Structure 1
Amino acid sequence: MALITLTTDFGTKDHFVGAVKGAIYTELADAKIVDITHEISPFNITETAYVLKNSYKSFPKGTIHIVGVDSELSEEHRHIALELDGHFFVCPDNGIVSMITSEIKPSKIVEINIHDRVESSFPVLDVFVQVACFIARGGNLTVIGKEIKDFKKITEIQPKTNQKQNQIIGGIVSIDNYGNVITNISKKMFVEIGKGRNFKMSAKKHSFSKIFTKYNEVVSNKTYSNQQYEGHKLALFNSASYIEIAIYRSNLKTVGGACSLLGLEYRDTVTIDFTNAPDPEFTILN
């Protein structure tokens, strides 16, 4: 039985998701389809990369991942299929897999060439489904396209350090359902560059000198109710081990989220400046 995931910016109001699922079932009646999300911000490549990196590895090896974000075929954006970490990805060549491939290199990549037989303004339905179902039947990637060695990478997804290794320069790559903003700075990078030093993290006019490991760690006095701390800003290592700027118990409909209350947006810069002084609380971060 084939396991196929879908990650798109289609939303659920229109017919697109249903049409894609119907086409898969027409090809593979016993397929199992899992929606990772259809709520990616329209054409947001970095958000897609973050979601994909932190979801695909929860699935068993051999899973086929269809990714439909900014998927219209053009000279700049080819369509590719790749095998990586025991998984298969069918997606546009627009940098979507950049966060995964920064750590794990694909074992095979092909440029999909079935477009000569299929003309479509809806390639996820007409091309990606065909390719995914072909792979699910045991087909070799080289049958659907010519093997290539290179693919598009998005450098903005990767944070940078300065020459003295005392500063990390990153950015906001995603905003979640609670309005919390997620950076591209991983806990691994923070630990390796920081080496236990004191730091100041800045995002616009806001600064942080502590990073929590859980949201409720911001509640400093257990005799107080959680309600007293609603709206309190904090930074933490989230479940994907990336630095997140959050509002405790945020709710976009009531309290608000970090994006609205702190005025933080996608692609805003986040910097971490380290001093030479060791942080006595650093051990709790590991």
Structure 2
Amino acid sequence: MSQPKILTLLSDFGDNDVYVAVMKGVISQINPGLKLVDLTHQIPPQNLAAARFCLMNAYPYFPVGTVHLAVVDPGVGSQRRAIALQLAQGFLIGPDNGIFSGITSKNQVIKAVELTNLNYWRTSQPSSTFHGRDIFAPVAAHLANGVSLQELGREINPTTLVKLDIGECFETATGVTGCIQYIDHFGNLVSNIPGSYVQGKTWSVKVANLTMPGCETYSDVQNQEALALVGSHGWVEIAINSGNAYMQLQINWQDTLHVLFLQSC
């Protein structure tokens, strides 16, 4: 017996309202046998950078053929495109607002379509505030049900997809400069500097007026002390052992930080 197709969901809807359940209801009306996996619905409202990061880091861990539905959509009801993308490992469904640009920066888009075929929408007159229910959820369900990508709408050039600017990291005379691209549930401040830059080096991080050592684990410093390390996702991050770096250090999204390489004596 073949395994049910996996459909993941990510949104900024939270769990106080029924929005997520409504999307799942729409999906189940089309195919109640789909395996639904919630990546997260706790993306800060309208925070595309957080959605981009979470999708980028979750995507590699799902089997080939997985359909990923993402709805963080501050431009809902506007002229922004609704899209579906085919990649080697799976499919992406959501708004064309840069939410998928983390994944597409590392993986080639095989085919991209704008969702113009109303036959696969829940209604030909979708709500101007809930495309997740009326467009994205039913299209994702049909795609997971075996409908081909080209049936969902008109093909578009992948190079025209919106890219989200989260800042660049670049090498300097003394190390690498980057910025904070994500803040997790624990208050860890995740930079856009790949951990490969610091591998095998003695290093520290400077941000604002603070300098903290580059470490291997949280326990390399005392409780409530700040440190930098490479997190499980592979990026340099700032943390506080048994504390919340975001709240305690007052460092925020997009703030600049510098990795400094220390010279050996």
Decide: shared fold, TM above 0.5.
yes
CA RMSD of aligned residues (A): 2.1
In the alignment, which of 68, 72, 79 is matched to residue 71 of structure 2? 68
In the alignment, which of 190, 210, 228 is matched to residue 182 of structure 1? 190
Could you tell me how far apart the structure 2 residues matched to 1:135 and 1:165 are? 49
1:236 lines up with 2:261 in the alignment: no
- Kindly state the Cα deviation for residue 213 of structure 1 after the two structures are TM-superposed: 2.8
Aligned ranges 1:257-276 → 2 under 5 Å: 257-274=244-261
In the alignment, which of 131, 136, 141 is matched to residue 133 of structure 1? 141
- Kindly state the Cα deviation for residue 122 of structure 1 after the two structures are TM-superposed: 0.5
Partner of 1:205: 209
In the alignment, which of 114, 124, 129 is matched to residue 117 of structure 1? 124
For structure 1, list consecutive stretches of 5 or more residues without a partner in the other structure.
219-228, 251-256, 281-286
In the alignment, which of 1, 11, 14 is matched to residue 14 of structure 2? 11
Partner of 1:153: 163
Could you tell me how far apart the structure 1 residues matched to 2:9 and 2:232 are? 22
Could you tell me whether the CA contact under 8 Å between 2:204 and 2:228 is conserved in 1? no
Could you tell me whether the CA contact under 8 Å between 1:114 and 1:127 is conserved in 2? no
Structure-2 change in CA distance of 1:146 and 1:213 (3 Å): farther
Could you tell me whether the CA contact under 8 Å between 2:59 and 2:103 is conserved in 1? no
Identity rate, percent: 33
Spell out structure 1 runs of 4+ moving beyond 6 A: none
Structure-2 change in CA distance of 1:273 and 1:213 (3 Å): closer
Amino acid at match of 2:258: T
Partner of 2:91: 88
Could you tell me how far apart the structure 2 residues matched to 1:69 and 1:19 are? 16
Number of positions where the alignment pairs a residue of Structure 1 with one of Structure 2: 254
Partner of 1:221: none
Partner of 1:222: none
For structure 2, list consecutive stretches of 5 or more residues without a partner in the other structure.
none
Could you tell me whether the CA contact under 8 Å between 1:12 and 1:38 is conserved in 2? yes
Could you tell me whether the CA contact under 8 Å between 1:73 and 1:79 is conserved in 2? no
Q: Provide the secondary structure at the position in 2 that maps to 1:107.
A: strand
- Kindly state the Cα deviation for residue 190 of structure 1 after the two structures are TM-superposed: 4.5
Could you tell me whether the CA contact under 8 Å between 2:180 and 2:253 is conserved in 1? yes
Could you tell me how far apart the structure 2 residues matched to 1:170 and 1:42 are? 24
TM-score scaled to structure 2, two decimals? Answer: 0.88
Could you tell me how far apart the structure 2 residues matched to 1:92 and 1:172 are? 24
